[in-house]
Amino acid sequence: MPVCLPPLKKSFAGETGIVTGWGVTSAGKVRGDDIRAHISPVLQELEVPIMSNEECRNSGYMKNQITDNMLCAGFKDGGKDSCQGDSGGPLHVADGIYHQIVGVVSWGQGCARPNYPGVYNRVNRYIPWIQKYTADACPCSRDGGNKEPVVAEEEPMEPETEEEEKEDEAKLKKSVIRTVT
């Protein structure tokens, strides 16, 4: 099932979000390269309450740290949160048969600390930019959810010959060298 873009002006405050990721599962024990030893081998999922920006600005963060391009989600008492390794992952909200991606895991003061909810990039602040690059690729409708999602059919791929594989590898090396220099 696809994840849809949210409405432009909706705040989602008071709703329950679902954050997923393979990040660390125990805060406070991870330093530097040690993070790899604590990353979850299994995709984790957590329901978190989404708060208003005003409520977030009145938490442990300084008021000017939380901008309108952000949203906060988490428990006032802490205990559960997204963490290192989850960054870039989705925060989505159920909307009938669809889910809307409302946030992207960004930052926080540690993980799961009381009065410091997780901070996410607010997706609906970037919808014009997203639509510029995806055009009509977004399959969800706003007419009560009656439109079935469009699912691209995959064509079976022929296995590459050893020669084609070497050519692809050589092209990749050239493109990487061009990018770096």
Give residues with Cβ within 8 angstroms of 17, minimum separation 6.
47, 48, 49, 50, 73, 91, 92, 93, 102, 103
Amino acid letter for position 23 = G
Strands 90-95 and 3-4: unpaired
Q: Mean pLDDT over all residues of the chain?
A: 81
Average pLDDT of 115-125?
97
Average pLDDT of 116-142?
84
* 144 or 41, higher pLDDT: 41
CB 106 within 8 A of CB 69: no
Coil, helix or strand at residue 51 = strand
Lowest mean pLDDT among 49-53, 68-72, 79-83: 79-83
User: Looking at the predicted structure, is the pLDDT value of residue 161 above 80?
Assistant: no
Domains, in order of start, for the chain = 3-134 (2.40.10.10)
pLDDT in tens, 78-97: 999 999 899 999 999 998 88
* 80 or 141, higher pLDDT: 80
Average pLDDT of 56-64?
94
Q: What is the pLDDT of residue 165?
A: 65
* 3 or 155, higher pLDDT: 3
How far, in Å, CA of 147 to CA of 162, rounded? 44
State pTM to two decimals.
0.74
Grade residue 150 by pLDDT with cuts at 50, 70 and 90: very low
Grade residue 138 by pLDDT with cuts at 50, 70 and 90: low
